Amino acid sequence: MVDDSPMFGLSEEHRSIRAAVRAVCDDKVAPHAAEVDAASAFPQAAYDALRAADFHAPHIPEEYGGAGADALATCLVMEEVARACASSSLIPGVNKLGTMPLLLSGSERLKKAYLPPVARGGAMFSYCLSEPDAGSDAAAMATRARRDGDTYVLDGVKRWITNAGVSDYYTVFAVTDPTSDGNAISAFVVERSDPGVSFGAPERKLGIKGSPTREVYLDSVRIPADRLVGAEGEGFRIAMRTLDHTRVTVAAQAVGIAQGALDFALGYVQERHQFGRPVADFQGLQFMLADMGMRVEAARQLTYAAAGRSERDDDDLTFFGAAAKAFASDTAMAVTTDAVQLLGGYGYTRDYPVERMMRDAKITQIYEGTNQVQRLVMARQLLAGVQSEL
């Protein structure tokens, strides 16, 4: 259990986790970040380093061979990896996103079959919810799963799937009862090796270029019926509960990106001289730095508060997860843009990392629910009276 009150600091254990992740990332992740971005290449060196240190999927419980990190510790991992390389942070981030439906609703057989390989680092797990015509309106999905004896047959297309083609396993959401008023949706585990599974070309993206994003094609994919996650018709609820938890890790990713940009800008303005003195001496720049630092810390505290609610699965997690994700991602976009401004012309070039960080930050305002959707979620929670004080 973690104390999410901003009046208190991290526990000694959590501080140790942060220090350990930062050491790994400074040594083995950050040095490859620019190359990964330039080549749009999966960050294999980062994956190897995170796997060796058990930071690639820290959230998996010990009973399934994982590190058993709580929600706050998982956020610390996300934050520190994103500070070094946003693309690499999608390794622990998407492993949590893909496996969370199993942790929330999966049978014990499914958990024992699929969580240990991810915990060992022998496989990764992606999440297939969005479709070409079903983004924010996830319930409009067209993918179908038809029961056929002791199997299901899946047909459809999933879009914007992070780490598609690299991950071995996929949580796929599909309509199992197209005649129902609610278009009953169910969740399934699909393996990359299942006949009928294929992938589109990698998307040509603005940022997080080292994390492949592809379409997943399901062409009469026949899977055993026991790969159903939860019960038939529970898929939409499972998907939304999953996002309540994983939006907190996206918030941590955004905090990490923002912190990385602030760290670099702080060093630069103290070394760069104009008019005979460091530009850090000028009050206008100091005001920018103050605002950047204030926003990052506010986003961090809100994210940690949300992490506490995720760990306890509190009633107001939906509000706090949406709030943390929206606020932290807006902060990341603002802080990285200011970091580019502080570096002037140099900030606009690939010779310095802040332009990459600015490009990477943008996606945090979009995926796992746009920030416009987050505001709808928050407003509905407020109107329903589901919000508590710290």
For position 5, what pLDDT does the model report? 47
- The arithmetic mean of pLDDT across residues 77-98, rounded, is 98
Q: Which amino acid is at 274?
A: Q
Q: Each residue of 228-251: b (16+ CB within 10 Å) or e?
A: bbbebbbbbebbebbbbbbbbbbb
Residue corresponding to tokens 């240990």: 116
- Answering whether pTM is above 0.85, one says yes
CB 28 within 8 A of CB 49: yes
Q: Name the residues annotated as catalytic.
A: 368
- The arithmetic mean of pLDDT across residues 111-117, rounded, is 98
The model's pLDDT over 289-319, given as tens digits with 9 standing for 90+, comes to 999 999 999 999 999 999 999 999 999 999 9
| CA distance linking residue 4 with residue 6, whole number of Å | 6
Which stretch of 97-111, 133-147, 303-317 has the lowest confidence by average pLDDT?
133-147
Q: How confident is the model at residue 183 (pLDDT cuts 50, 70, 90)?
A: low
Q: In this model, does residue 179 exceed pLDDT 90?
A: no
CB 333 within 8 A of CB 360: no
| CA distance linking residue 16 with residue 49, whole number of Å | 18
The model's pLDDT over 317-333, given as tens digits with 9 standing for 90+, comes to 999 999 999 999 999 99
Q: Which amino acid is at 303?
A: T
Query: Which tokens belong to 143?
Result: 């993918």
